[in-house]
């Protein structure tokens, strides 16, 4: 029943109607018409820009029985934390390269030169 509302709203959204027409002309765009006469993008239902419908989807996702964290999104987590202490001043180095941090970022996609790691050096004074 909820999906039926989405399908009906698709037919009133000008942007989705344009994608609908495009999907009938070419299959290269990723958009296609589903078996239930709905517009899909890569096998996912296209949701029109309808504020009431989007609110309904978010409400269903957050309060449904299959939600990962039901009914806790509205709680303000800041109230449940221990108050932090006084702010501590940050030491400012007197000369560049006085305070340096070094790290490696790995697991990146291979570059043209077959590299997948970046060496990161941060100088606290010059950033």
pLDDT at 74 over 60: no
Q: What is the pLDDT of residue 126?
A: 72
How, if at all, do strands 39-41 and 44-45 pair? antiparallel
Tell me how far CA of residue 34 lies from CA of 19, 31, 43, 62, in angstroms.
Answer: 13, 9, 8, 27
Which token pair is 113?
A: 């030169």
Element housing 20 (H / E) = helix 14-25
pLDDT at 69 over 70: no
* Domain locations in the chain as residue ranges: 2-63, 93-127
What pTM did the predictor assign? Answer: 0.49
Q: What is the pLDDT of residues 9-58, one digit of tens each?
A: 999 999 999 988 888 887 777 888 888 889 999 889 999 998 999 988 88
Q: What is the pLDDT of residue 67?
A: 61
Q: Would you give the DSSP letter of residue 92?
A: P
| Mean of pLDDT values over 97-106 | 88
């Amino acid at each position: 029943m909820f999906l039926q509302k989405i399908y009906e709203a698709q037919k009133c959204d000008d942007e989705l109607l344009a994608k609908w027409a495009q999907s009938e002309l070419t299959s290269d765009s990723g958009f296609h018409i589903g078996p239930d006469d709905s517009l899909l993008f890569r096998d996912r239902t296209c949701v029109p820009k309808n504020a009431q419908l989007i609110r309904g989807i978010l409400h269903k996702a957050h309060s449904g029985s299959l939600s990962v964290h039901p009914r806790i999104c509205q709680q303000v987590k800041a109230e449940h934390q221990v108050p932090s202490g006084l702010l501590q001043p940050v030491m400012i180095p007197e000369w560049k390269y006085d305070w340096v941090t070094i790290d490696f970022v790995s697991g990146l996609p291979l570059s043209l030169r077959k590299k997948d790691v970046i060496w990161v050096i941060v100088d606290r004074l010059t950033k």
